[in-house]
Structure 1
Protein backbone atom coordinates (compact mmCIF):
# COMPACT_ATOMS: atom_id res chain seq x y z
CA UNK A 1 0.00 0.00 0.00
CA UNK A 2 1.32 3.42 -0.81
CA UNK A 3 1.03 6.20 1.71
CA UNK A 4 3.86 5.03 3.94
CA UNK A 5 6.23 7.94 4.35
CA UNK A 6 3.83 10.48 2.85
CA UNK A 7 4.79 13.90 4.23
CA UNK A 8 2.15 15.70 6.24
CA UNK A 9 1.29 19.07 4.74
CA UNK A 10 1.41 21.65 7.51
CA UNK A 11 -0.67 24.83 7.62
CA UNK A 12 2.43 27.03 7.43
CA UNK A 13 3.38 25.36 4.14
CA UNK A 14 -0.14 25.90 2.78
CA UNK A 15 0.07 29.56 3.82
CA UNK A 16 3.44 29.92 2.08
CA UNK A 17 2.07 28.33 -1.09
CA UNK A 18 -0.94 30.63 -1.00
CA UNK A 19 1.37 33.62 -0.69
CA UNK A 20 3.64 32.44 -3.51
CA UNK A 21 0.69 31.69 -5.80
CA UNK A 22 -0.74 35.15 -5.21
CA UNK A 23 2.63 36.91 -5.52
CA UNK A 24 3.51 35.22 -8.80
CA UNK A 25 -0.04 34.95 -10.19
CA UNK A 26 0.35 31.21 -10.76
CA UNK A 27 -2.10 29.61 -13.19
CA UNK A 28 -2.87 25.92 -13.01
CA UNK A 29 -4.42 23.35 -15.34
CA UNK A 30 -5.93 20.12 -14.08
CA UNK A 31 -5.97 17.49 -16.82
CA UNK A 32 -8.28 14.62 -15.87
CA UNK A 33 -9.21 11.47 -17.74
CA UNK A 34 -12.81 10.36 -18.13
CA UNK A 35 -12.49 6.64 -17.31
CA UNK A 36 -13.69 5.35 -13.90
CA UNK A 37 -16.00 8.26 -13.13
CA UNK A 38 -16.37 7.71 -9.37
CA UNK A 39 -12.61 7.61 -8.84
CA UNK A 40 -12.09 10.59 -11.14
CA UNK A 41 -14.75 12.62 -9.33
CA UNK A 42 -12.83 12.04 -6.11
CA UNK A 43 -9.46 12.94 -7.62
CA UNK A 44 -10.80 16.13 -9.18
CA UNK A 45 -12.54 17.10 -5.94
CA UNK A 46 -9.28 16.55 -4.05
CA UNK A 47 -7.39 18.88 -6.37
CA UNK A 48 -10.18 21.44 -6.05
CA UNK A 49 -10.02 21.19 -2.25
CA UNK A 50 -6.31 21.88 -2.32
CA UNK A 51 -6.55 24.90 -4.61
CA UNK A 52 -9.46 26.29 -2.60
CA UNK A 53 -7.49 25.82 0.62
CA UNK A 54 -4.56 27.86 -0.73
CA UNK A 55 -6.75 30.41 -2.49
CA UNK A 56 -5.69 29.64 -6.06
CA UNK A 57 -8.58 30.67 -8.28
CA UNK A 58 -6.98 30.51 -11.70
CA UNK A 59 -7.53 26.78 -12.23
CA UNK A 60 -8.72 25.34 -15.53
CA UNK A 61 -10.12 21.81 -15.80
CA UNK A 62 -9.32 20.01 -19.06
CA UNK A 63 -10.64 16.52 -19.81
CA UNK A 64 -8.75 13.73 -21.56
CA UNK A 65 -10.56 10.77 -23.09
CA UNK A 66 -8.38 8.38 -21.06
CA UNK A 67 -5.10 8.15 -19.21
CA UNK A 68 -3.16 7.40 -22.39
CA UNK A 69 -4.09 10.88 -23.68
CA UNK A 70 -3.04 12.73 -20.51
CA UNK A 71 0.50 13.53 -21.76
CA UNK A 72 -0.52 15.18 -25.02
CA UNK A 73 -3.10 17.40 -23.34
CA UNK A 74 -0.69 18.11 -20.47
CA UNK A 75 1.92 19.11 -23.05
CA UNK A 76 -0.35 21.74 -24.55
CA UNK A 77 -1.42 22.91 -21.09
CA UNK A 78 2.22 23.23 -19.99
CA UNK A 79 2.72 25.86 -22.69
CA UNK A 80 0.00 28.07 -21.15
CA UNK A 81 0.04 27.34 -17.41
CA UNK A 82 2.56 27.51 -14.57
CA UNK A 83 1.66 24.04 -13.28
CA UNK A 84 -0.28 21.04 -14.52
CA UNK A 85 -1.99 18.39 -12.42
CA UNK A 86 -2.50 15.13 -14.32
CA UNK A 87 -5.24 12.89 -12.91
CA UNK A 88 -6.20 9.47 -14.16
CA UNK A 89 -6.67 5.86 -13.20
CA UNK A 90 -5.69 2.62 -14.88
CA UNK A 91 -6.94 -0.62 -13.37
CA UNK A 92 -5.22 -3.89 -14.18
CA UNK A 93 -7.16 -6.25 -16.40
CA UNK A 94 -6.38 -9.60 -17.93
CA UNK A 95 -4.23 -8.33 -20.81
CA UNK A 96 -0.91 -6.46 -21.13
CA UNK A 97 -2.90 -3.30 -21.96
CA UNK A 98 -2.44 -2.13 -18.34
CA UNK A 99 1.36 -2.08 -18.64
CA UNK A 100 1.28 -0.31 -22.00
CA UNK A 101 -1.04 2.46 -20.83
CA UNK A 102 0.72 2.93 -17.49
CA UNK A 103 4.16 3.09 -19.09
CA UNK A 104 3.10 5.42 -21.91
CA UNK A 105 1.24 7.80 -19.59
CA UNK A 106 3.98 7.85 -16.95
CA UNK A 107 6.81 8.33 -19.43
CA UNK A 108 4.80 10.90 -21.36
CA UNK A 109 4.00 12.99 -18.27
CA UNK A 110 7.65 12.89 -17.19
CA UNK A 111 8.69 14.02 -20.65
CA UNK A 112 6.18 16.89 -20.56
CA UNK A 113 7.59 18.16 -17.27
CA UNK A 114 11.23 17.87 -18.32
CA UNK A 115 10.78 19.23 -21.84
CA UNK A 116 8.55 22.15 -20.91
CA UNK A 117 10.03 22.98 -17.51
CA UNK A 118 6.47 23.12 -16.18
CA UNK A 119 5.78 21.01 -13.11
CA UNK A 120 3.34 18.15 -13.61
CA UNK A 121 1.68 16.80 -10.48
CA UNK A 122 1.47 13.04 -10.96
CA UNK A 123 -2.02 11.91 -10.01
CA UNK A 124 -2.19 8.82 -12.21
CA UNK A 125 -3.41 5.88 -10.14
CA UNK A 126 -2.10 2.53 -11.38
CA UNK A 127 -4.04 -0.04 -9.40
CA UNK A 128 -4.59 -3.77 -9.37
CA UNK A 129 -8.31 -3.39 -8.73
CA UNK A 130 -11.09 -0.87 -8.26
CA UNK A 131 -10.90 -1.10 -4.45
CA UNK A 132 -7.30 0.18 -4.51
CA UNK A 133 -8.32 3.07 -6.76
CA UNK A 134 -11.25 4.02 -4.53
CA UNK A 135 -8.94 3.89 -1.50
CA UNK A 136 -6.69 6.54 -3.08
CA UNK A 137 -9.41 8.74 -4.59
CA UNK A 138 -10.05 11.04 -1.63
CA UNK A 139 -13.65 9.91 -1.31
CA UNK A 140 -15.37 9.46 2.05
CA UNK A 141 -13.73 6.37 3.54
CA UNK A 142 -10.63 6.59 1.32
CA UNK A 143 -7.26 6.23 3.05
CA UNK A 144 -5.52 8.63 0.67
CA UNK A 145 -6.31 11.74 -1.38
CA UNK A 146 -4.07 11.61 -4.43
CA UNK A 147 -5.91 14.49 -6.12
CA UNK A 148 -5.02 16.78 -3.20
CA UNK A 149 -1.45 15.44 -3.03
CA UNK A 150 -0.87 15.85 -6.78
CA UNK A 151 -2.18 19.40 -6.74
CA UNK A 152 0.09 20.18 -3.79
CA UNK A 153 3.12 18.72 -5.60
CA UNK A 154 2.47 20.72 -8.78
CA UNK A 155 1.93 24.02 -6.98
CA UNK A 156 4.85 23.52 -4.60
CA UNK A 157 7.16 22.89 -7.56
CA UNK A 158 5.75 25.88 -9.46
CA UNK A 159 6.31 28.10 -6.42
CA UNK A 160 9.93 26.94 -6.14
CA UNK A 161 10.50 27.60 -9.85
CA UNK A 162 8.91 31.06 -9.58
CA UNK A 163 11.14 31.85 -6.59
CA UNK A 164 14.22 30.78 -8.54
CA UNK A 165 13.22 33.08 -11.41
CA UNK A 166 12.76 36.08 -9.11
Structure 2
Protein backbone atom coordinates (compact mmCIF):
# COMPACT_ATOMS: atom_id res chain seq x y z
CA UNK A 1 0.00 0.00 0.00
CA UNK A 2 1.45 3.38 -0.96
CA UNK A 3 1.01 6.51 1.08
CA UNK A 4 0.53 9.73 -0.84
CA UNK A 5 -0.15 12.96 1.01
CA UNK A 6 -0.29 13.55 4.72
CA UNK A 7 -2.67 15.24 7.09
CA UNK A 8 -0.11 17.76 8.24
CA UNK A 9 -0.23 21.52 8.35
CA UNK A 10 3.52 21.78 9.04
CA UNK A 11 4.34 23.34 5.71
CA UNK A 12 8.08 23.09 6.33
CA UNK A 13 7.81 19.30 5.91
CA UNK A 14 6.33 19.59 2.40
CA UNK A 15 8.42 19.21 -0.76
CA UNK A 16 7.15 22.27 -2.61
CA UNK A 17 10.08 22.46 -5.02
CA UNK A 18 8.97 23.61 -8.42
CA UNK A 19 5.46 24.56 -7.35
CA UNK A 20 4.01 27.80 -8.65
CA UNK A 21 1.47 29.32 -6.24
CA UNK A 22 -0.80 32.35 -6.55
CA UNK A 23 -2.77 34.25 -3.94
CA UNK A 24 -5.87 36.19 -4.92
CA UNK A 25 -7.24 38.37 -2.15
CA UNK A 26 -10.29 40.58 -1.97
CA UNK A 27 -9.86 44.19 -0.95
CA UNK A 28 -13.16 44.61 0.90
CA UNK A 29 -12.61 45.01 4.68
CA UNK A 30 -8.99 46.10 4.71
CA UNK A 31 -8.11 45.09 8.29
CA UNK A 32 -9.39 41.52 7.94
CA UNK A 33 -7.92 41.11 4.46
CA UNK A 34 -4.51 42.42 5.51
CA UNK A 35 -4.50 39.78 8.24
CA UNK A 36 -5.57 36.95 5.91
CA UNK A 37 -3.06 37.97 3.26
CA UNK A 38 -0.32 38.26 5.88
CA UNK A 39 -1.02 34.73 7.09
CA UNK A 40 -0.91 33.31 3.57
CA UNK A 41 2.38 35.11 2.90
CA UNK A 42 3.86 33.71 6.14
CA UNK A 43 3.10 30.16 5.01
CA UNK A 44 4.61 30.78 1.58
CA UNK A 45 7.67 32.41 3.15
CA UNK A 46 8.21 29.40 5.43
CA UNK A 47 8.58 27.14 2.40
CA UNK A 48 10.59 29.61 0.31
CA UNK A 49 7.86 30.34 -2.24
CA UNK A 50 6.90 33.90 -1.31
CA UNK A 51 9.30 35.59 -3.72
CA UNK A 52 8.13 33.46 -6.67
CA UNK A 53 4.40 33.61 -5.88
CA UNK A 54 1.89 35.79 -7.66
CA UNK A 55 -0.29 38.02 -5.45
CA UNK A 56 -3.35 39.67 -6.97
CA UNK A 57 -5.95 41.88 -5.30
CA UNK A 58 -9.58 42.01 -6.46
CA UNK A 59 -12.55 44.08 -5.34
CA UNK A 60 -14.43 41.48 -3.30
CA UNK A 61 -15.27 37.83 -2.74
CA UNK A 62 -17.54 37.71 -5.80
CA UNK A 63 -14.54 38.39 -8.05
CA UNK A 64 -12.39 35.62 -6.56
CA UNK A 65 -13.56 32.76 -8.83
CA UNK A 66 -12.95 34.41 -12.19
CA UNK A 67 -9.47 35.60 -11.25
CA UNK A 68 -8.66 32.28 -9.55
CA UNK A 69 -9.70 30.47 -12.72
CA UNK A 70 -7.31 32.55 -14.78
CA UNK A 71 -4.47 31.98 -12.30
CA UNK A 72 -5.15 28.23 -12.16
CA UNK A 73 -4.19 28.00 -15.83
CA UNK A 74 -0.57 28.90 -15.01
CA UNK A 75 -0.18 27.94 -11.34
CA UNK A 76 -0.20 24.68 -9.37
CA UNK A 77 -2.29 26.20 -6.61
CA UNK A 78 -4.33 29.29 -5.87
CA UNK A 79 -5.06 30.60 -2.38
CA UNK A 80 -8.38 32.51 -2.59
CA UNK A 81 -8.98 34.90 0.31
CA UNK A 82 -12.02 37.02 1.10
CA UNK A 83 -14.53 37.95 3.74
CA UNK A 84 -18.29 38.33 3.61
CA UNK A 85 -20.09 39.65 6.66
CA UNK A 86 -23.80 39.02 7.02
CA UNK A 87 -25.98 42.09 6.67
CA UNK A 88 -29.68 42.74 6.57
CA UNK A 89 -30.19 41.68 2.96
CA UNK A 90 -29.78 38.41 1.00
CA UNK A 91 -26.58 39.84 -0.56
CA UNK A 92 -24.53 37.72 1.90
CA UNK A 93 -26.13 34.49 0.68
CA UNK A 94 -25.61 35.28 -2.99
CA UNK A 95 -21.98 36.31 -2.64
CA UNK A 96 -21.08 33.37 -0.39
CA UNK A 97 -22.78 30.91 -2.72
CA UNK A 98 -21.13 32.35 -5.82
CA UNK A 99 -17.67 32.33 -4.23
CA UNK A 100 -17.99 28.81 -2.83
CA UNK A 101 -19.55 27.27 -5.93
CA UNK A 102 -17.19 29.07 -8.28
CA UNK A 103 -14.00 28.15 -6.44
CA UNK A 104 -15.11 24.55 -6.03
CA UNK A 105 -15.92 24.27 -9.71
CA UNK A 106 -12.52 25.68 -10.66
CA UNK A 107 -10.76 23.08 -8.51
CA UNK A 108 -12.70 20.25 -10.12
CA UNK A 109 -12.52 21.61 -13.67
CA UNK A 110 -8.77 22.33 -13.58
CA UNK A 111 -7.59 19.61 -11.20
CA UNK A 112 -5.58 22.28 -9.38
CA UNK A 113 -5.37 23.06 -5.69
CA UNK A 114 -7.74 25.95 -4.96
CA UNK A 115 -7.71 27.02 -1.33
CA UNK A 116 -11.04 28.30 0.00
CA UNK A 117 -10.17 31.16 2.33
CA UNK A 118 -13.43 33.09 2.26
CA UNK A 119 -14.56 33.94 5.76
CA UNK A 120 -18.36 33.86 5.93
CA UNK A 121 -19.17 35.54 9.21
CA UNK A 122 -22.24 36.79 11.02
CA UNK A 123 -20.43 39.88 12.29
CA UNK A 124 -17.18 41.79 12.07
CA UNK A 125 -15.81 40.34 15.32
CA UNK A 126 -16.03 36.80 13.98
CA UNK A 127 -13.99 37.89 10.97
CA UNK A 128 -11.40 39.65 13.13
CA UNK A 129 -11.12 36.55 15.34
CA UNK A 130 -10.13 34.47 12.29
CA UNK A 131 -7.99 37.00 10.42
CA UNK A 132 -4.57 36.13 11.85
CA UNK A 133 -4.11 39.51 13.48
CA UNK A 134 -2.22 39.87 16.77
CA UNK A 135 -5.48 39.72 18.73
CA UNK A 136 -7.06 36.98 16.57
CA UNK A 137 -7.82 33.49 17.82
CA UNK A 138 -7.16 31.88 14.43
CA UNK A 139 -5.02 32.49 11.35
CA UNK A 140 -7.18 31.31 8.46
CA UNK A 141 -4.93 32.91 5.84
CA UNK A 142 -2.04 30.72 6.99
CA UNK A 143 -4.26 27.65 7.34
CA UNK A 144 -5.69 27.99 3.83
CA UNK A 145 -2.27 28.56 2.29
CA UNK A 146 -0.97 25.47 4.12
CA UNK A 147 -3.91 23.40 2.86
CA UNK A 148 -3.38 24.70 -0.69
CA UNK A 149 0.30 23.75 -0.57
CA UNK A 150 -0.46 20.33 0.88
CA UNK A 151 -3.07 19.63 -1.79
CA UNK A 152 -0.79 20.84 -4.60
CA UNK A 153 1.95 18.49 -3.37
CA UNK A 154 -0.51 15.60 -3.12
CA UNK A 155 -1.83 16.25 -6.64
CA UNK A 156 1.72 16.32 -7.99
CA UNK A 157 2.52 13.03 -6.21
CA UNK A 158 -0.63 11.44 -7.62
CA UNK A 159 0.23 12.50 -11.15
CA UNK A 160 3.74 11.03 -10.77
CA UNK A 161 2.35 7.72 -9.51
CA UNK A 162 -0.53 7.56 -11.97
Q: TM-score, normalised by structure 1?
A: 0.89
Among 125, 132, 157, which residue is 2:126 paired with?
Answer: 132
Between 1 and 2, higher relative CO (CA 8 Å, sep ≥ 6) is seen in: 2
Q: Deviations over 1:65-102 (max 9, x none)?
A: 11001000000000010000000000000000000000
Alpha-carbon distance in 2 for matches of 1:15, 1:125:
25
Question: In the alignment, which residue of structure 2 is the partner of 1:40?
Answer: 33
Q: Distance in 1 between matches of 2:115 and 2:81?
A: 8
Provide the secondary structure at the position in 1 that maps to 2:16.
helix
Q: Deviations over 1:19-39 (max 9, x none)?
A: x212xx001000000100000
Alignment of 1:3-152 (within 5 A): 9=9, 13-17=10-14, 20-22=15-17, 25-57=18-50, 58-152=52-146
1:141, distance to aligned residue in structure 2 (A) = 1.1
SS in 1 for 2:80: strand
Higher mean Cα deviation, 133-142 or 49-58?
49-58
In structure 2, stretches of 5+ residues that fail to align are 1-6
Q: Secondary structure at the match of 2:102?
A: helix
State the distance in 1 between where 2:38 and 2:132 align. Answer: 8
Q: CA deviation at 1:15?
A: 3.0
Contact 2:27 2:60 (8 Å CA) reproduced: yes
Deviation at 1:8, TM superposition (A): 7.1
Q: Deviations over 1:113-159 (max 9, x none)?
A: 00011111110000001000000000001010000000001110000
Query: TM-score when scaled to structure 2?
Result: 0.91
Question: For this pair of structures, how many residues does the alignment match?
Answer: 153
